[in-house]
């Protein structure tokens, strides 16, 4: 019997209607930098991928009370450098602070269209949680989108000190809800961080694979287990 359902956040429940490059270009322009959106998009993808691999190392597995802010400061520097820009001191500080705050503002993130109907259909029968490698900005994002109340707990990597695919982030969520992995489903879109990691932790896995497989099929998947 399934008692709980975990959800990944970005790519599963929420997304950026505009790409990361658009947001970086918009904020950078406010600070006097004229950057190409496509170049920013590529630089961010490369920087984020490399930094994410490094964050999975055992030495990085500690809670980050600054909610990853310093980690993001380094990544933004790398992205700008890859685009030929190295703003210094006060200029960079002001740009970064606005950029970091921007991704927690209303209107930046959006829910996938099926998210609310699916959550509505599940919440009366199952305990729901978010398990994400996001940081503490996820709390206001979910509040702005009107879905925070659906979840019994939100477990994020910066607070647990373990990022998916580390099994410990799933263990923390299971402990928070007092449910065993065999009675839990994890829904996510990433083949390594969600599918393989949750399966290795003993959970059932619902593979979100947009656009062919969205959250629409999750209720039937859970009922069939």
Q: pLDDT tens digit string along 103-155?
A: 999 999 999 999 999 999 999 999 999 999 999 999 999 999 999 999 999 99
* 177-198 burial: b if 16+ Cβ within 10 Å, else e: bebebebbbbbbbbeebbbebb
Judged on CB neighbours under 10 Å (0-12, 13-18, 19+), 114 is: middle
Tens digits of per-residue pLDDT, 66-76? 568 888 999 99
- What are residue 148's phi and psi, to 5 degrees? -55, -35
User: CATH says 4-15+109-224 is which class?
Assistant: alpha beta
The confidence score (pLDDT) of residue 62 equals 56
Nearest-angstrom CA–CA distance, 171 and 166 = 9
pLDDT < 70 regions, the chain: 54-67
Please indicate, yes or no, whether the overall pTM of this predicted structure exceeds 0.75.
yes
Q: Are the CB atoms for 131 and 151 separated by under 8 Å?
A: no
Among residues 138, 130, 200, 203, the alpha carbon closest in space to that of 165 is found at: 200
**Which residues does 88 contact at the CB level (< 8 Å), separation at least 6?**
none
Cα-based angle 2, 217, 191 (whole degrees, multiple of 5)? 85
* Dihedral angle sign, alpha carbons of residues 177, 180, 185, 188: positive
The confidence score (pLDDT) of residue 158 equals 84
The confidence score (pLDDT) of residue 59 equals 47
Cα-based angle 195, 201, 207 (whole degrees, multiple of 5)? 20
Domain ranges of the chain: 4-15+109-224, 20-102
Question: What is the phi-psi region of residue 126: left when phi exceeds 0, alpha when psi lies from -120 to 50, beta otherwise?
Answer: beta
Architecture of the 20-102 domain: Orthogonal Bundle (1.10)
Helices (H) and strands (E) in the chain, counts: 10, 7
Nearest-angstrom CA–CA distance, 133 and 11 = 12
């Amino acid at each position: 019997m399934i008692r709980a359902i975990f959800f990944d956040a970005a790519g599963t429940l929420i997304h950026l209607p505009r790409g990361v490059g658009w947001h970086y270009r918009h904020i950078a322009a406010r600070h006097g930098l004229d950057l190409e959106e496509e170049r920013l998009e590529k630089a961010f993808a490369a920087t984020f991928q490399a930094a994410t691999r490094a964050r999975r190392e055992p030495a990085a597995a500690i809670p980050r009370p600054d909610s990853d802010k310093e980690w993001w400061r380094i990544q933004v520097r790398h992205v700008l450098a890859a685009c030929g820009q190295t703003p210094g001191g006060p200029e960079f500080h002001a740009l970064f602070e606005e950029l970091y705050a921007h991704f927690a503002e209303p209107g930046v993130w959006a829910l996938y269209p099926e998210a609310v109907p699916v959550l509505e259909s599940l919440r009366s029968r199952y305990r729901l949680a978010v398990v994400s490698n996001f940081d503490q900005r996820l709390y206001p994002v979910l509040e702005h989108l009107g879905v925070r109340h659906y979840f019994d707990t939100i477990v994020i990597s910066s607070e647990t000190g373990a990022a998916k695919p580390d099994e410990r982030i799933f263990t923390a969520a299971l402990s928070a809800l007092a449910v065993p992995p065999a009675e839990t489903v994890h829904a996510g879109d990433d083949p390594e961080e969600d599918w393989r990691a949750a399966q290795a932790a003993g959970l059932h896995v619902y593979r979100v694979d947009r656009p062919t497989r969205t959250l629409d099929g999750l209720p039937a998947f859970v009922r069939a287990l």
